[in-house]
Amino acid sequence: SNHCRATAAAAAMHDLEPHLILRCQEADVDPGSRGNLLFARSVGAHVHTCTATEYAKHGSKKLVQTVMDDLVSSGKKPYAIPVGGSNAVGTWGYIEASKELKDQLTSSSSEYAPEHPFPDAVVFTCGSGGTAAGIAQGLSLAFDGSKIPAPKMYAVGVCDNPDYFYTYMSGILTDMGFYAEADLAENFLRANLTIVNGRGGGYAVSSQAELDFVVNFARSTGILLDPTYTGKSLFKFCADVESGKVEIPGPNVLFWHTGGGLGAFAQQESLSSNFE
């Protein structure tokens, strides 16, 4: 989990004790210290695990509450953060980031155009909904009243289906106070954001074509994508554009890399099959 790793680091910076709940394939088996886990454990994270079956049966809220109750019984005062940090509090970060992006785009376009033309579209990964909700609302706000129209927005979901994300994200935006009712938020999202189903073989399940794409992209750009999020989503978006399934308004597309390169190191055997 990129979010868990980043949250563990933030907790360590503020002298807080991070506890992470991670889904694993087998019960009561230590997931080790690869990829994000190496970093998370290096900054002092306590790792709690559950299987996909347990997660589906109990849900994330109950699993978090169970850990919270244990911590409270030991005299601690825990603060719960949902999956991916995708709630009203966590999403504010991408509202601010969207304004920063708009300022960068308008500055570079005016100074360097046409070498750096303004993007026709902005594409980003959607894992739990917070990032996509924040960028969709944030870019709309940033360009409100601007002479330059907002770029078309595309989110590529790497786990659930688009209808789930539209519903969940509308709840986030409503909780943030942007809309009085969730229906209004969902109408906004469906009108301004295209969600592409990039689940593929399933969450954190990579096809060989997706892994090949990650390696080839790194070799051609020097930029590392992670197989679970950015690699899977950009692979799917490019494939859908090439096939005509997704239409973009122009040739200039900005892919918002939301991090997670450390996750690639958890799949070193699969990725290294492409090495010479």
Q: Which of 1, 140, 170, 233 is catalytic?
A: 1
Torsion angle in degrees (nearest 10) through CA of 184, 185, 189, 191: 20
Closest CA to 118 of 144, 154, 95, 152: 152
Kindly state the helix (H) or strand (E) to which residue 125 belongs, with its residue range.
Answer: strand 121-126
Per-residue DSSP letter, 257: -
Per-residue DSSP letter, 14: T
Which amino acid is it at 124? F
48/70 Cα distance (integer angstroms): 12
162/158 Cα distance (integer angstroms): 10
Structure tokens at 41: 């454990």
- Residue 181's Cβ-count burial label (10 Å; 0-12, 13-18, 19+) is exposed
Per-residue DSSP letter, 169: H
How many helices (H) does the chain have, and how many strands (E)? 11, 6
Contact 206, 270 (CB under 8 A): yes
Please confirm, yes or no, whether 1 is among the known catalytic residues. Answer: yes
Active site residues: 1
